[in-house]
Chain A
Amino acid sequence: MVAKGFEKIQDKWGWIFISFATIFLALFIFYPLVYSLYLSTFSTKGIIKNFVGLGNYKRLLQDNYFILSIKNIFVILVIQVPIMLFLALIFAFLLNDPKLKLKGVYRTALFLPAVTSLVAYSVVFKMMFSTEGLVNNILINLHIIKEPIRWLLDPFWSKVTLIIAMTWRWTGYNMMLYLAGLQNISQEVYEAAEIDGAGKTAQFFRITIPLLRPIILFTTILSTIGTLQLFDEPMMLAAGVTTGSSVGPGNSLLTPSVYIYNVSFKYVPNFGYASAISYMIVIIAVILSIIQFRVAGEER
């Protein structure tokens, strides 16, 4: 009897403790999730709502801006994410060498970009990559280029700038995840490989990469989702003279998130359509994650 009563009390406290988290979760995560799904079946103009069913999704498939924004992030996804992850792997591998001195300094230097504010670094990059900015001046003085590159004024180069900026910002972050992963790989494995005559390159490709596979998969998915939600960098890099009429030259920096923002706040506010776009991004993220799991995941 006594035990039962105690269990009951314990039970009650348990419920009370998790209730806070559950209520907040429901209020701030589940409710918006469900409500935005409901909202995505309306076309809205401020407070004027029209039920359109799946109309928003149909409209999305024909919306050139949306298609363009998806194309833009796929270019970044295909080029920037592999470069960044590979760089991060190499840095992590080099830093993991027990004989390396001044490890802390390198680690800090590489990780520092990841703690800078997104807006601050985007603004600095915008200055550095202006036509008469630091980067062009250096390249010209080194005689690498003759004419200044129109970094932010050309649809092609603006994407290059974005890719460079993002790689600078996020490589250190991924490197830290890899470094953590590398702690689980025993140094003995490397020592054994060295005795067997494997060079650094062979060690990297034959030991580090295969053993880090779960972490690589994890960072790939994180980066993919991060890219799908890309907002701050293109928004800042594309800020124009008086109003910034297109998002980068020829909308070359338009991402779905920036488009959602424009549809909600810059254009006539259509929160219904904006919700539909966000659901579309969720669907794309899920599909890409499934593919990545299939390709890189452990087979069972």
Chain B
Amino acid sequence: MKKIFVILMLSVLLLGLVGVASAAELSGKITIWCWDPNFNVAIMEEAATRYNKINPNAEIEIVSMAKADVEQKLNTILASGVKKDLPEIVLIEDYNAKKYLESYPGAFADLTDHFNYSEFASYKLDFMTVNDRVYGVPFDSGVAGWFYRRDYFEEAGIDVSELGNITMDEYIELGKVFKEKTGKYMQAGDPYDGGLMRTLLQSAGTWYFDEKGEPNIVNNPALKEAVRIYKEINDSGISKETSGWNEWVAAFNGGEVASVITGVWIIGSIKAEESQSGKWGVLPIPRPDVPGSVNASNLGGSSWYVLENSENKDLAIDFLNQIYAKDVDFYQKILIDRGAVGTWLPAQKGEAYSAGDPFFGNQKIYVDFAKWIEMIPPVDYGLYTYEADAAIMGVMPDVYSGKISIEEALKQAEDQLRNVIGG
């Protein structure tokens, strides 16, 4: 009896030692830079707690900053070439990813061999791939939806079952009818915000640039259509004009508008108005009327990147691997708590994804979003998305006023874009 006890004790001790030894290989501190305390930061904190259960030797510090500050700090620290005090992990918006990867070659860790990328949504990979090497861990999706007020649509006698694959023109017509019947706006938005433009472009499978990265503006039928849609929306009076994020959110929180077409991340803001619970629903987005367009797209979203020269690079990679590419339960938790739709596909077989959401009238919205995610046409955002956005939006006042034609506007925008990129 005593012998057995001793052996047991010894083996426990030994096992403990082995355990300590293997964890000691990966220990240290991971510093993470990201923005949005209610979303990315909170999600990373959840991930950190989970990883600490697997590897208690990792100390994880999450630094919460404004998005612009993360970008500024990253730019300055990478441009200066300093290798000290680099964070291990940074969050980068998908539209910006290639810009960083190509402007700072060698600054980001090549993750190609560390992750099974076939398990991630394919549209999240193009912009984080340079010369066939993948540098990021895809995180949240900006899969777009047409969020609408069930009660308003009912009041106006709109049959939702026929709105599964409509075009933007049909959407605008619907908006006019709706406004006539109820006096309310169909949507709200800043006429100079490029969000809808990017949503429409991606749903048509194109971008501001062609495969070679050359500006593709004047001869881009989808872009021409998108500009026409912007003007049409502006002329039709179906959109309540807002300026800035707060006004925009206030427009649908205050019940002034019937719907909003945007990325899935808006759910948190929609749900902030608890009195509207049960009154919302989600439809596939209307598509631009060009060949090849689908009723699914993406707006925004971001991914995690590991800095090559950071102190505990391997630990950081292990952390991202254990949680973001293995933990199904983690993805259920962040979906329920934060409305974060991950792009690691196995997670979408989880329980939370198939549950109905009472806020959305028990619609199984995440089943729909998961379906749409797979439909999103992959697009390489290239390096200059924001330059292009600014060039197009810069000519919009003259398009709205009718001073110049859409063709002329696109020509001016392309000239301007080439000017900014050139040199």
Interface residues of chain A, those whose CB is within 8 Å of chain B, are: 43-48, 52, 55-56, 59, 62-65, 126-127, 130-131, 150, 152-155, 239-252, 262, 264-269, 271, 273
Contacts and interface: CB of A to CB of B under 8 A. Distances in A.
Contacts of B103: 45-48, 268-269
B351 to A, nearest CB: 31
B79 A153 contact: no
A241 B387 CA distance: 17
A242 B245 contact: yes
Interface of B: 68, 71-72, 75, 78-79, 81, 99-100, 102-105, 107, 189-195, 241-248, 262, 299-300, 383-384, 386-387, 389-390, 392-398, 415-416, 419-423
A241 B420 CA distance: 23
A245 B104 contact: no
In the A-B complex, the 5 residue pairs with the smallest Cβ-Cβ separation, listed nearest first, are A46-B103, A250-B397, A245-B194, A246-B393, A245-B393
Contacts of B107: 47
A275 to B, nearest CB: 12
Given A155-B397, A242-B193, A245-B194, A268 B99 contact: yes
A64 B391 CA distance: 10
B168 to A, nearest CB: 18
Nearest to B387: A267
Interface centre among A44, A52, A239 (most CB of B within 10 A): A239
B243 A266 contact: no
A57 B167 CA distance: 46
Contacts of A271: 79
B390 A240 contact: no
A62 B105 CA distance: 30
B189 to A, nearest CB: 6
A148 to B, nearest CB: 10
Contacts of A239: 244-245
A260 B300 CA distance: 24
Nearest to A68: B394
Given A240-B244, A242-B245, 7 more contacts: A46-B102, A47-B105, A56-B423, A242-B262, A243-B389, A265-B68, A265-B72
A65 B105 CA distance: 29
Contacts of A246: 192, 390, 393-394, 396
Nearest to A126: B244
